[in-house]
């Protein structure tokens, strides 16, 4: 299960590791600086899931509802067919 405190910690940690201010992270995620501050203060529950996902991605984290929050993977060798097979198997 993903908790608001976990999201807040990951956003703060990712932002610090990237050397970004809240304003810079907000710009990369396409949200306002107060939204970043709210998430970092543990208020992710008042923000849409799409916004949380954009902020986590900008902070270099992926959100997986089945696996929680984890570091982002390098997408340079991303294989769409394998990804779709993992999601849908033989149904696609």
Instruction: Give the residue, 53 or 84, on which the prediction is more confident.
Output: 53
Which CATH number covers residue 38?
1.10.260.40
Residue 56 lies in a domain: yes
Residue 92 lies in a domain: no
Residue 77 lies in a domain: yes
| Domain range enclosing 25 | 4-87
Residue 38 lies in a domain: yes
Number of domains in the chain: 1
Residues 6+ apart with CB under 8 A from 58: 14, 25, 28, 29
Residue 26 lies in a domain: yes
Instruction: Please write the tens of the pLDDT for every residue from 17-64.
Output: 999 999 999 999 999 999 999 999 999 888 888 899 999 999 998 876
Rounded-to-integer distance, Cα 85 and Cα 13, Å? 33
**pLDDT at 82 (0 to 100):** 72
Instruction: Give the residue, 73 or 19, on which the prediction is more confident.
Output: 19
């Amino acid at each position: 299960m993903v908790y608001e405190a976990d999201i807040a910690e990951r956003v703060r940690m990712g932002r610090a590791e990237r050397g970004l201010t809240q304003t810079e992270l907000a710009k990369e995620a396409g949200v306002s600086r107060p939204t970043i501050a709210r998430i970092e203060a543990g208020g992710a529950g008042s923000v849409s899931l799409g916004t949380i996902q954009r902020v986590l991605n900008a902070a270099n984290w992926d959100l997986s509802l089945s696996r929680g929050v984890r570091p982002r993977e390098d997408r340079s060798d991303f294989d769409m067919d394998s990804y779709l097979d993992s999601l849908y198997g033989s149904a696609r």
